[in-house]
Structure 1
Amino acid sequence: MSLFPVFLLGLICLGLCLLAYMFSPKGSDQTLWRSSLIITFICLYSMWAITYMAQLNPLIAPRRSDLRPEHFSGGHH
């Protein structure tokens, strides 16, 4: 796992935001459409990026429960 997907999907999200800005329906609600779509894409990306990056450096390290107690500390007494 690396940071490359974070940047790649960030660029894709930026592209989707630009498309939403350019191709939002014309009319009196155009600003509402633009802001709603752009905020949606940014929120989706933010939640994905936070979840992905949290897995790169977890706060809690997994521990095996099937080892004997003398192996918990690396076998050194």
Structure 2
Amino acid sequence: MSTLISILVFTIFWLLFILIGWMAAKRYKDKDLIRCCFLLTGVCCWLIWVVTLLMQLNPLTGPRASQKVIFGMMTYWKNSFIHNENDP
């Protein structure tokens, strides 16, 4: 539920940013260029934010090794804790 609320809040924030920029552009001579800048800025910032949020919802995990593989790595690697030598 909190994810949905945060998506709605930030979507409304960036929509308001675009709307205010759209209205503020009426005063200037190059209003189409200013509107385009506000629109692209709002969409790109929202997209970066939503992609970052969605990546954090389902993080990738690293490779998983079986116990045989882990024991084999500890046996063959010279700096593993199985050997009598101290690690550097």
- TM-score, structure 2 normalization: 0.62
**Paired residue for 2:20?**
19
More helix by share: 2
Distance 1:27 1:9 in 2: 28
Matched, 1:10 2:11: yes
Give the Cα separation in 2 of the matches to 1:27 and 1:7. Answer: 31
Q: Which has the higher relative contact order, 1 or 2, with Cα contacts under 8 A spaced 6 or more apart?
A: 1
What are the within-5 Å matches in structure 2 for residues 1-77 of structure 1? 2-24=3-25, 26-58=27-59, 60-61=60-61, 69=67
Deviations 1:26-73 (A, max 9, x none): 233111001111110110110011011111011x2268xxxxx48x9x
Contact 1:20 1:34 in 2 (8 A): yes
Alpha carbons of structure 1 residues 2 and 40: separation in structure 2 relative to 1, 3 Å: same
Aligned to 1:75: none
Cα RMSD for the two superposed structures:
2.7
Within 2, Cα distance between the matches of 1:38 and 1:28?
17
- What is the one-letter code of the residue matched to 2:45? L
Where does the alignment leave 5 or more consecutive residues of structure 2 unmatched? 71-88
Moved over 3 A (4+): none
Structure 1 unaligned residues grouped into runs of 5+: 64-68, 73-77
Query: What TM-score, normalized by structure 1, do the two folds share?
Result: 0.70
Q: Which amino acid aligns with 2:48?
A: M
